C-alpha cells in the first residue's frame, strides 16, 4: 500500500466535518459540539505527524523507532493500513514472527486484490522463520559443543602407591647352617654306628653257634669264620661311624660356642663415670658383658 495514499487518508479524515443538522441547533448545543470536533481534529493531526515521522524513520533504516511511531499513530487513528507498515518494519528488522503477526492482522481489512499477495508473503515469512529457528538451534548446539570442549578435562586419579613391605628383622641365629649340617652328619653317623653295632653283635651270635667251649676256651670251626669276619667288618664300620658322629658333634659345639661368644662381645657396653673422694677425683671406665 502506498504511504502517500495513507497520508491522504489521514488528512481527509482530519478535514471531514460532521454533517449539519436539518434544524439549527440551540446555542448551548452548538457551543458543546465545537470543542469535541476540535479535539478530534487535534488527535488525527497528531496521528498524521506520527505516521510521517515513522515513514521518515523507516527510510533512514531506524526500524525500531519507526515501529514505535506507527504503533502510536495507530492507537490514535485506528486505521488498519498502519498495521501493514508495522509488519513491514518488523520484517526489515528480521523479526519474522511479529512481521507475520501484523501482516496477518492487516489481511482481515485488506481489499480482495491484496489478500492473495499477503497470503504468499505470510507463507514466505513462515519459511524464513523456520530457517531462522534452525540457524539459531545450530548456533546454540555449536556454542554448547565449544563450551564442553573448553572445559578442563578431569585429571586421572593418581596411582596408588603400595608401601614396600618392611624387611623381616634379621634373626640372630647362633645355630647357623654350618652347625645344622654338622648336626645332621653327627645324627647320621650315630645312626650308622648303632646299625653296624647291632649287625656286628648279630654276626657274633651266629658265629658262637658254630663254636664250642672246652677247658674254659672257645674253639670255632671253619663254619664260624664267615660270621667272625662279618662281625669284624661290622664292628669297624660302627667304630668309624661313631667317630664321625663324635667329631661332628664336637664341631657343632665349637661353632655354637664361638658364635655365642661373639654375640656376647657385641652386646658388651662400656660406661664412663666420674668419681671423687678425699684423695682426689677421676673417671672410671666400666664394661658390661
Domain range summary for the chain, segments of one domain joined by + = 3-15+39-139, 177-273
- Triad 217, 221, 224: Cα angle to 5°: 100
User: Is residue 87 predicted with pLDDT exceeding 70?
Assistant: yes
Q: What angle do CA 142, 147, 153 make, to 5 degrees?
A: 135
**Number of C-beta neighbours around residue 123 at 10 A:** 11
Q: Provide the mean pLDDT of the chain.
A: 77
Does 77 score more than 50 pLDDT? yes
Query: Of all residues in the chain, what percent carry a pLDDT higher than 70?
Result: 69
Helices (H) and strands (E) in the chain, counts: 8, 4
Phi, psi of 273 (to 5 degrees): -130, 135
Residue pLDDT, tens place only, 92-121: 999 999 999 999 999 999 998 899 999 999
Whole-number pLDDT of residue 267 = 56
Task: Give CA separation, 276 vs 221, 283, 286, 287, in Å.
Answer: 91, 8, 16, 20
Please state which of the ranges 4-18, 122-136, 139-153, 158-172 shows the lowest mean pLDDT: 4-18
> Do the Cβ atoms of 73 and 56 come closer than 8 Å?
no
* Residues 95-118: b if buried by 16+ CB within 10 A, e if exposed: bbebbbbbbbebbeebeeeeeeeb
Neighbour count for residue 88 (Cβ, 10 Å)? 21
Distance CA(7)–CA(54), nearest Å, equals 12
The pTM for the full model equals 0.44
pLDDT at 21: 29
Average pLDDT over residues 136-157: 85
Share of the chain above pLDDT 90, in %: 34
Mean pLDDT to the nearest integer, 11-36: 40
Neighbours of 49 (CB within 10 A): 14
pLDDT one-digit tens code per residue, 197-222: 888 788 777 777 777 776 667 767 67
Is residue 30 a contact partner of residue 18, using CB atoms and an 8 Å limit? no
Average pLDDT over residues 71-87: 95
The CATH label, of 1.10.443.10, 3.40.50.2000, 3.40.50.300, 1.25.40.10, for the domain at 3-15+39-139 is 1.25.40.10
C-alpha cell at 180: 645344622
| CA neighbor of 230 nearest in space, from 267, 255, 264, 205 | 205
pLDDT of the residue at 121: 94
Structure-model confidence comparison of residues 261 and 83, the more confident one? 83
DSSP assignment letter at 85: H
Amino acid at each position: 500500500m502506498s504511504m502517500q495514499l495513507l497520508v491522504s487518508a489521514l488528512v481527509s479524515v482530519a478535514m471531514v466535518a460532521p454533517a449539519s443538522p436539518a434544524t439549527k441547533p440551540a446555542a448551548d448545543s452548538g457551543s458543546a459540539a465545537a470543542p469535541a470536533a476540535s479535539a478530534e481534529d487535534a488527535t488525527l493531526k497528531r496521528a498524521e505527524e506520527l505516521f510521517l515521522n515513522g515513514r521518515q524513520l523507516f527510510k533512514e533504516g531506524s526500524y525500531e523507532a519507526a515501529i514505535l511511531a506507527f504503533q502510536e499513530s495507530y492507537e490514535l487513528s485506528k486505521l488498519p493500513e498502519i498495521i501493514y507498515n508495522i509488519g513491514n518494519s518488523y520484517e526489515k528488522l528480521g523479526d519474522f514472527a511479529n512481521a507475520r503477526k501484523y501482516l496477518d492482522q492487516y489481511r482481515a481489512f485488506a481489499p480482495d486484490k491484496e489478500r492473495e499477495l499477503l497470503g504468499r508473503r505470510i507463507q514466505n515469512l513462515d519459511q524464513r522463520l523456520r530457517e531462522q529457528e534452525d540457524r539459531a538451534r545450530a548456533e546454540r548446539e555449536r556454542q554448547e559443543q565449544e563450551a564442553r570442549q573448553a572445559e578442563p578435562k578431569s585429571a586421572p586419579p593418581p596411582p596408588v602407591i603400595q608401601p614396600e613391605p618392611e624387611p623381616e628383622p634379621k634373626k640372630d641365629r647362633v645355630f647357623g647352617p654350618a652347625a645344622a649340617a654338622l648336626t645332621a652328619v653327627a645324627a647320621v653317623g650315630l645312626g650308622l654306628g648303632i646299625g653296624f653295632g647291632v649287625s656286628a653283635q648279630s654276626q657274633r651270635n651266629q658265629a658262637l653257634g658254630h663254636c664250642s667251649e672246652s677247658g674254659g676256651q672257645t674253639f670255632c670251626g671253619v663254619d664260624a669264620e664267615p660270621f667272625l669276619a662279618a662281625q669284624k667288618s661290622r664292628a669297624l664300620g660302627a667304630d668309624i661311624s661313631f667317630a664321625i658322629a663324635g667329631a661332628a658333634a664336637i664341631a657343632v659345639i665349637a661353632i655354637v660356642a664361638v658364635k655365642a661368644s661373639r654375640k656376647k662381645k657385641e652386646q658388651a657396653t662400656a660406661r664412663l663415670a666420674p668419681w671423687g673422694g678425699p684423695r682426689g677425683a677421676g673417671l672410671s671406665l666400666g664394661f658390661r658383658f
